[in-house]
Amino acid sequence: MNHLLDIDGLTEQGVLKLCEQAKRWKGGEAPPTMKEPVFVGQLFFEPSTRTRVSFEAAAKRLGYQVLTLHEGTSSTQKGESLADTVKTFEAIGMNIAIMRHSTTRYWEEFLDDASFSLVNGGDGSGAHPTQSLLDVWTMHEEFGAWKDLRVAIIGDIAHNRAARSNAKLLQKLGATMTFSAPDWGWDEGFLQYGERIELHETVSSADVVYCLRNQWERVEDPTRYQAETRTFCLTEALANKMQPHAIVMHPAPINRGVEIESSMVDSERSRIFQQMKNGVFMRMAILHELMTNQSKQVEDAPMSV
C-alpha cells in the first residue's frame, strides 16, 4: 500500500492486518522506536474535527512530527494552486500527506510523480477510506466477523462519502447491505451493493444501524428538503424495533435531534464514541503500514554505482 485513496484496492486479508495491528496498539503495545524523523502533513481544505485530530494523535503516538496547514492563513488565499501547496510540503520533507478537499479525486493533479504517500481524508462526496476502516473494525470488535452481518445505512446516502466507502468495503467483506434514504438523498448507484428498503424494515432487520448526517452543504437548495429530515431520524420509538443485540453507529459530526435522537447517541446501543476512540488506533495502523512500505521500497531499490 503506497497510498490510501479509496477502499478499492483493499483485500480482506489487508483489512484484517490493519485491524489486528490497531487492536494490539489499543491493547497497550508500544509502537516501534523511530530511527529517523517522519513528517506527516495535514492539509485540510474542508472542516474536520475527528479525522484531523485523531490523525494528529495517531501520528504523535507513533513518534511522527505533524505539519499542519491552516487554510485560512495559507498561500492558497493568495491564489496558490493545490498542486503547488502540496509540492511545498513535499519539498520540505513530508513523508505522508493526509488531505481533505471538496473536489472529488483532487489528487489527480499532483499524485503521479509524488515522493510521499497520500491518505485521503475525504474527497467531496467520493470516498472516506479511513472512516470506513475504523467502522468495519468497530463492527468486527462487536460481532467477530463481517460475513452475513446485516448493516443498514440510513439518511443522506447520496452525498455521504463514508456511506459510499462503507457500502463498497462491507459488501467486499461479505456483509449484507440495506439502505433507506429520502429521494433527495438517494443514489441509484448504491443498488450494486445492496437493496433499498423501507426505513422501519431495514432498522428492524439490521445488526448495525448506521446513521448519516444530512450534508446540506452539498445540496443546491436545502430548504426544499429539510421538512423531510425528521422522517429519517433514528428516534427511540424507531430504535425499539431494533433487534436486542443490534448497535447504532454514526460517522459524525452528529446533529442531535435531526438524524438521530440525542438519547440514542448516549444509549447502550451506541458505539459512536467507540468509533472515535478506535479511529486513533486504526489511523496509527494505516500510517505505520505506509511508512513500512516506504522503507521496503528504499531497501529494495537498486544501488547506483
pLDDT at 227: 64
106: amino acid identity, one letter: Y
Q: Are residues 60 and 35 in the same domain?
A: yes
* CATH code of the domain containing 284: 3.40.50.1370
Cβ atoms within 10 Å of 74's Cβ, excluding its own = 14
Decide: residue 277, CB within 10 A, 0-12 exposed, 13-18 middle, 19+ buried: middle
- Among 3, 24, 7, smallest CA distance to 15 is for 7
Q: Which residues are bridge partners to 39 per DSSP? A: 65
| Residue with the three cell numbers 467483506 | 173
Q: Are residues 268 and 289 in the same domain?
A: no
Whole-prediction pTM: 0.93
Average pLDDT along the chain, 305 residues, taken 10 residues at a time: 92 97 97 92 93 97 94 76 94 97 93 94 94 98 97 94 97 97 92 96 97 78 67 92 97 92 96 98 98 73 35
Tell me if 57 is assigned to some domain.
yes
Q: Are residues 163 and 178 in the same domain?
A: yes
Tell me if 304 is assigned to some domain.
no
Three-state secondary structure readout of 82-111: HHHHHHHHHHCCCCEEEEEECCCCHHHHCC
Beta strands in the chain (DSSP E): 39-44, 65-69, 96-101, 117-123, 150-154, 176-180, 194-196, 208-211, 247-249
20 grid coordinates: 489486528
Q: Are residues 166 and 270 in the same domain?
A: yes
1: amino acid identity, one letter: M
Cβ atoms within 10 Å of 202's Cβ, excluding its own = 22
pLDDT at 302: 39
d(CA 108, CA 106): 6
Q: Are residues 153 and 263 in the same domain?
A: yes
Cβ–Cβ < 8 Å for 279, 249: no
Q: Are residues 102 and 150 in the same domain?
A: no
pLDDT at 301: 41
Q: Are residues 86 and 178 in the same domain?
A: no
Tell me if 199 is assigned to some domain.
yes
Tell me if 1 is assigned to some domain.
no
Q: Are residues 154 and 259 in the same domain?
A: yes
Q: Are residues 212 and 123 in the same domain?
A: no
Q: Are residues 68 and 185 in the same domain?
A: no
Tell me if 3 is assigned to some domain.
no
The domain containing residue 23 runs over which residues?
Answer: 12-127+276-298
Tell me if 2 is assigned to some domain.
no
Q: Work out how many domains the chain is built from and give that number.
A: 2
Q: Are residues 176 and 189 in the same domain?
A: yes
Q: Which residues are bridge partners to 247 per DSSP? A: 208
Provide CB contacts within 8 A for 230, sequence distance 6+: 258
56 grid coordinates: 494528529
Tell me if 7 is assigned to some domain.
no
d(CA 134, CA 151): 15
Supply φ then ψ for residue 207, to 5 degrees: -90, -30
Tell me if 208 is assigned to some domain.
yes
Provide CB contacts within 8 A for 146, sequence distance 6+: 12, 136, 139, 140, 170, 173, 174, 175
Q: Are residues 225 and 243 in the same domain?
A: yes
pLDDT at 304: 33
DSSP state of 302: P
| Residue with the three cell numbers 466507502 | 165
